[in-house]
């Protein structure tokens, strides 16, 4: 149960149901009337009555950092994953590892899941969370899955008396570790204040995209943009190199010109200009190409069902399918640059 891609900084907008991180500081400790417990105070006094009990299911590259930030906020985090190594990391970060989903959720105020795909989410909620967690618990699925499955899980939760939200994230592993993710939430409007408070230790910005499923719709569209812009960035770098330009100098120019994007300024796929980018560690970590391919497939499936025209999205999916099929799905998605350059022999597959 381990699963990523961050959007460009977006201004907070009340029409989108979002507040800035600074604005949320003032009221973040309050739950909506009739909701869960108050969050722990900043001084972590140790008063059990003031500690929110979090069940966190799925401690992969993203979930591990997210769970750690809930623990840093003073919450009691019961953490579960199928990987013992992930459980060990969670324990070192202040979480309490447990042996099953049922054990994690049994006394939870908030249940947060971060799982690989729709079938995992449906199975875990229908068989292990709904009915095992108190009906007072807030259920938050932060996985990236298809809209139909998100709505199905929401319906199961609603029928059983739970408040539920699909709340996928943008920001990648760096933001997960830093607690600066962007959340796109699909939920019943009256539940949003409570959801925003629960997500705050992990969040830079939280947006209510609409009703159930809308969070997943927003995430799918966001990541299609990301895949397309990263592919365009890599193509341009490859062309610049062939034309005799230094890709580092190209960064200096594009970062201040009309070609600027998140893929350039935050995640540049050539080593050097952005020290934190995976390109500086041989494309290890970050947002796996296989996960980008999954998201692009979700976008193409949604486009087919809705009748939307997405030719660039389709071509981007095809190229990431090729890259993944060659055995490089475990590398960061920006490593597709090396396929376009014809340099795959220099790129480890694992």
Mean pLDDT within 84-108: 98
| DSSP tag of 271 | S
pLDDT band for position 51 (50/70/90)? Answer: confident
Pick the closest to residue 76 from 53, 58, 94, 55 (CA basis): 53
* Catalytic residue set: 219
Q: Give the span between the Cα atoms of 98 and 171, in whole angstroms.
A: 27
pLDDT tens for residues 219-266?
999 999 999 999 999 999 999 999 999 999 999 999 999 999 999 999
Q: Is the pTM of this model over 0.75?
A: yes
pLDDT, one tens digit per residue, over 129-168 is 999 999 999 999 999 999 999 999 999 999 999 999 999 9
* 188 band by pLDDT with thresholds 50, 70 and 90: very high
Which pLDDT does position 237 carry in this prediction?
98
Mean pLDDT on 93-121: 97
Q: In whole numbers, what is the pLDDT of the chain averaged over residues?
A: 88
Q: How much is the pLDDT for 29?
A: 38
In Å, how far from its chain's centre is CA 173? 8
Res 181 pLDDT > 70: yes
The residue written with tokens 């969050």 in the block is 39
Percent of the chain with pLDDT over 90: 83
Q: How far apart are CA 44 and CA 31, in angstroms?
A: 18
Q: List CB contacts of 225: < 8 A, sequence separation 6 or more.
A: none
| Residue 14: pLDDT over 80 | no
The residues pairing with 78 across neighbouring beta strands, listed in sequence order, are: 55, 96
Reported confidence tier of residue 50, pLDDT bands at 50, 70, 90? low
Q: Evaluate if residue 339 carries a pLDDT over 50.
A: yes
Strand spans (E) along 81-220: 96-97, 110-113, 138-141, 163-166, 169-170, 181-186, 203-210
């Amino acid at each position: 149960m381990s699963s990523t891609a961050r959007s460009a900084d977006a201004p907070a907008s009340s029409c989108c149901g979002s507040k800035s991180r600074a604005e949320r500081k003032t009221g973040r400790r309050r739950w909506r009337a009739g909701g869960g417990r108050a969050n722990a105070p900043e001084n972590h006094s140790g008063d059990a009555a003031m500690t929110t009990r979090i069940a966190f299911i799925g401690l992969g590259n993203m979930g591990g950092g997210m769970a750690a930030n809930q623990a840093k906020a003073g919450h009691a985090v019961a953490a579960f994953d199928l990987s013992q190594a992930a459980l060990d990391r969670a324990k070192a970060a202040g979480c309490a590892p447990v042996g099953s989903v049922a054990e994690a959720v049994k006394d939870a105020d908030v249940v947060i899941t971060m799982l690989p795909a729709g079938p995992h989410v449906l199975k875990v909620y229908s068989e292990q969370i709904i009915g095992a967690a108190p009906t007072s618990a807030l259920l938050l699925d932060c996985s990236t899955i298809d809209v139909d499955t998100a709505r199905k899980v929401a319906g199961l939760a609603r029928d059983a008396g739970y408040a539920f939200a699909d709340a996928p994230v943008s920001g990648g592993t760096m933001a997960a570790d830093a607690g600066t993710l962007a959340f796109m939430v699909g939920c019943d409007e009256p539940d949003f204040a409570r959801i925003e408070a629960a997500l705050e230790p992990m969040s830079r910005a939280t947006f209510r995209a609409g009703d159930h499923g809308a969070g997943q719709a927003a995430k799918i569209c966001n990541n299609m943009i990301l895949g397309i812009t990263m592919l365009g960035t890599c193509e341009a770098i490859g062309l610049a190199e062939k034309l005799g330009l230094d890709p580092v100098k190209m960064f200096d120019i594009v970062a201040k010109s009309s070609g600027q994007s998140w893929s350039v300024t935050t995640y540049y796929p050539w080593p050097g200009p952005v020290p934190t980018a995976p390109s500086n560690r041989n494309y290890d970590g970050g947002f796996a190409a296989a996960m980008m391919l999954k998201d692009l497939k979700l976008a193409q499936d949604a486009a087919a069902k809705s009748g939307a025209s997405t030719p660039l999205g389709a071509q981007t999916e095809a190229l990431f399918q090729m890259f993944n099929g060659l055995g490089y799905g475990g590398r960061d998605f920006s490593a597709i640059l090396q396929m376009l350059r014809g340099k795959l022999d220099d790129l480890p597959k694992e």
